[in-house]
Structure 1
């Protein structure tokens, strides 16, 4: 537990760790502090952006989306290993997550499975968005991975934390998959080596995979796009949508847990990718998940399908 360092301290410790830091506009005063408190801080959270191109990535993370204003993090780590500071203070990066995970971060103990969305993470975590498509194929250059390691270590060093204060978004909020393409266990090991404080790796059971109900997902798909008010949904929609985002079929800004027209269109494109078509010639796939299309998506993106 600690009070956040000042913006000038933040930039200084990153440079002291050997990072190439780019200060973007009025980043020191760009925040969401008017929407809630910033601090006490307990850890560092790592994300991937699902974007291509450094300039575009930095711009999006600074400005945000129509439904999610920026900044979306404190620093953007691009593929060349530079850290672009886009905001400081409360940022829209972590969202609601698991209070048991937060407790483990505070105590620097092994992380439990994240299965709740009860705690405001934007208040308690420094956040870095890292330029990557998040599809499991987009490479992570050595310079970028080293920059993630150095940035996390710099913050931990300042606050006197060890590597267990560094987590991924996927370890904080159910349904999230970022960062994808390297393991957070390996990154914590790198941070621990840099800090000289590496703790023995705990023996943990395999993490539980999220479960998505086919019947509930179909019910949301068949009902929500026709509704004019706020769609009715269930938590599995967000897990499903995150996989569609990773496939490049749904914009990250539309990952809202509501099976609306955007999700239905993305599903249709996924079905067509698998060879499915509409009933009439030239008609697109219907966008209503079937067992085969859902199972194949789950196998690829780490969730199980139940009835």
Structure 2
């Protein structure tokens, strides 16, 4: 139990909790105390609602509904997640509340099923929040909206030294069969889409209250599905491969290089951080039958060789030698990958063709 929050307390509590908010003109003096002759408070909890409509600020604050004059809540929470402070006095939001449920809220006990035989006027004793949602079981509460929703309730609980047991939904107190709040939620923290329930909501409020008001719920690491880029490189002219020397292939013709990692007249065909999967098609002339050319992928940091990967061997065949070498690897940040050849034949041979085709996935 406590006195209703003053405007200064509202502002300080919401700001500390990280709940974004704006103030509707006149909110600090808006309420139904004078019209009803009843003073709002003392307060014992927070009652949560959905609007069953969209763009409902005017309805909640100044228009009302047939037979129900405004204000209809103390605050309004749209899809944007930026709360609007609407009223500081008594508001028409709760109606008749089952007394057994109200007593459980005061005591912060599990809420029982409503006993309709005894009621109180919930407008006297409960803060009210209207959250924008059509209430059709299809309209989704946004992540920003749900996050602010949790923060709003936690802010008032923290202000009054309440626990999450002081948080309730209209469907839990109403003796008229109100169904709100309900609906799907886009997600919260590390959680993906889930259906709104007051039980889960109280768990989320309790989690906030277990931390400092400045706490933010941990979120899953954002991962953007990576679409591979296609690299297709080749040689304009063949070149000679001397015996017994490691020689880098310089890809001098670029049909496409969508990854943007290959410079013309360069041996570098991909730069990290990345992973790739593709093939290197090689054709040699004058490689004696049975002689070998070794092919290996080599990692560099600048011009410094850092790692050699396992060797593939191309064995000479009659009438020219053709071989497709698979390329699959992962490259760390700041590294580049090159293709090197070692002619183990005593003869000088010609690299007549080298075509590299690969899908490259850039990594952060």
TM range (shorter): 0.5 to 0.7
Alpha-carbon distance in structure 1 between the residues aligned to 2:2 and 2:47: 16
Q: Is the 8 A contact 1:169 1:179 kept in 2?
A: yes
> Residues 140-219 of structure 1: matches in 2 within 5 Å?
140-174=141-175, 175-181=177-183, 182-196=196-210
SS in 1 for 2:159: helix
Equivalents in 2 of 1:7, 1:176: separation in Å?
30
Q: Provide the residue aligned with 2:107 in structure 1.
A: 107
User: Retained in 2: the 8 A contact 1:149–1:187?
Assistant: yes
Residue number in structure 1 paired with 2:5: 5
Structure 1 segments, 4+ long, off by >6 Å, are: none
2:227 aligns to what? none
Could you say what secondary structure the match of 2:54 adopts?
coil
Question: For residues 54 and 95 of structure 2, what CA distance do their matches in structure 1 show?
Answer: 23
- In 2, Cα distance between the equivalents of 1:12 and 1:160? 15
Q: CA deviation at 1:12?
A: 2.1
Q: Which of the pair has more CA radius of gyration?
A: 2
Q: Does 1:133 align with 2:134?
A: yes
- TM alignment of 1:222-233, pairs within 5 A: none
1:70 corresponds to? 70
Question: What is aligned with 2:58?
Answer: 59
- Given the two structures, how large is their TM-score scaled by the length of structure 1? 0.62
Deviation at 1:187, TM superposition (A): 0.5
- Post-superposition shift, 1:70? 0.8
- CA deviation string 1:82-126 (max 9, x = no partner): 110111110000011111111101111010111326201001111
Name 1:123's counterpart in structure 2.
124
TM-score normalized with structure 2 length? 0.52
Deviation at 1:8, TM superposition (A): 2.1
Residue aligning to 1:259: none
Contact 2:21 2:82 in 1 (8 A): yes
Which 5+ residue runs of structure 1 have no aligned equivalent? Answer: 198-307
Contact 2:99/2:115 (<8 A) preserved: no
Please list the CA deviations of residues 250-275 of structure 1 after superposition, one character each: whole Å capped at 9, or x if unmatched: xxxxxxxxxxxxxxxxxxxxxxxxxx
**SS of the counterpart of 1:52?**
coil
Secondary structure of the residue aligned to 2:84 is strand
Checking the alignment, whether the CA contact within 8 Å between 2:96 and 2:119 is kept in structure 1 is yes
Distance 1:19 1:38 in 2: 24
Give 3-state SS (helix, strand or coil) of 2:155's partner: helix
Q: How many residues align?
A: 194
CA contact (8 A) 1:115 1:173 kept: no
1:67 and 1:25 mapped to 2: Cα distance? 24
- What secondary structure, in the 3-state scheme, does the structure 1 residue paired with 2:152 have? helix
Per-residue deviation at 1:7? Answer: 2.0
Structure 2 CA distance for aligned equivalents of residues 139 and 10 of structure 1 = 27
Q: Distance in 1 between matches of 2:208 and 2:90?
A: 27
User: What is the root-mean-square deviation of aligned Cα atoms in Å?
Assistant: 1.2
